[in-house]
Amino acid sequence: MRATARLAGREVQYTLVRSRRRSIGLQVDDRGLTVRMPLRASRRWLQGVLEQHALWILGKLDQWAARPRPVAWDEGATFPLLGRRFAYAPRADGDFEMIELRGGQFGLPLSTGVSPAEVQRRVGGWYRAQALAWYRERVGEFSGRLGVTVPEVALSNARTQWGSCSRSTGIRLSWRLIMLPPRLVDYVVAHEVAHLLEMNHSPRFWSVVARLYPNYASARRELGALG
């Protein structure tokens, strides 16, 4: 059954499963929070356990909310960009625009006859244009901090590697990275720019990363958790 609890000022919906277990179990995944508790346990006891673990629960829910999901290329989908959400909106003249969604807004299930393949082509192009402009600006910023020549910046289609750096060809960054919050994009950019000085992952390399992005350890863990 579905239930709701107020934790640290936030309303959290969760799935409650009663069984013959002896203790309360908490699980957070792509489906949200699932609570398993003994058959005869009281809701008052459950609320106490939830409040005790509120920060852990909210932290895990936020991690899953930020996790990039496979994009559904259709007119009713929402498209993440730098921690914000956008909806695809075709126009009467045959063109389209991307509308930012705020708060609890959702994309509308439109039916204009635009195929998923066409949505993918159009929105994919929008993603790549946004990504290249953003990456070039951030690479320029971090290169300036190190006092190195700004390298060439290009997009990659990689699914398992956010970025790469070569002294001969410059920095390549996955266009999918632009779906993540700016702080994580900045960490990846700082990581690759640091390779302009240290083409390795030695302590000297990480000291360069720390100069560019002092909180890199936290961002690295968060990025690793996202997959």
pLDDT, tens only, 192-213:
999 999 999 999 999 999 999 9
Q: Name the residue with higher pLDDT: 111 or 134.
A: 134
Indicate whether 129 pLDDT > 90.
yes
pLDDT at residue number 113: 66
As a whole number of angstroms, the distance between CA 175 and CA 30 comes to 23
Q: Which CATH architecture has domain 126-226?
A: 2-Layer Sandwich (3.30)
Q: 């807004």: which residue's tokens?
A: 105
Quote the mean pLDDT of the chain: 86
How many residues in the chain?
Answer: 227
Q: Determine which of 37-41, 164-168, 214-218 has the lowest per-residue pLDDT on average.
A: 37-41
Indicate whether 188 pLDDT > 90.
yes
* Tally of CB atoms within 10 A around 106: 11
- Report percent pLDDT > 90 for the chain: 41
As a whole number of angstroms, the distance between CA 143 and CA 138 comes to 8
Q: Residue 103 is which amino acid?
A: G
Regarding beta strands 84-90 and 96-101, do their DSSP bridges make them parallel or antiparallel, or are they unpaired? antiparallel
Tokens representing residue 221 in the block: 């863990």
User: At 122, phi and psi to the nearest 5?
Assistant: -70, -50
**Where in the chain do CATH 3.30.2010.10 domains reside?**
126-226
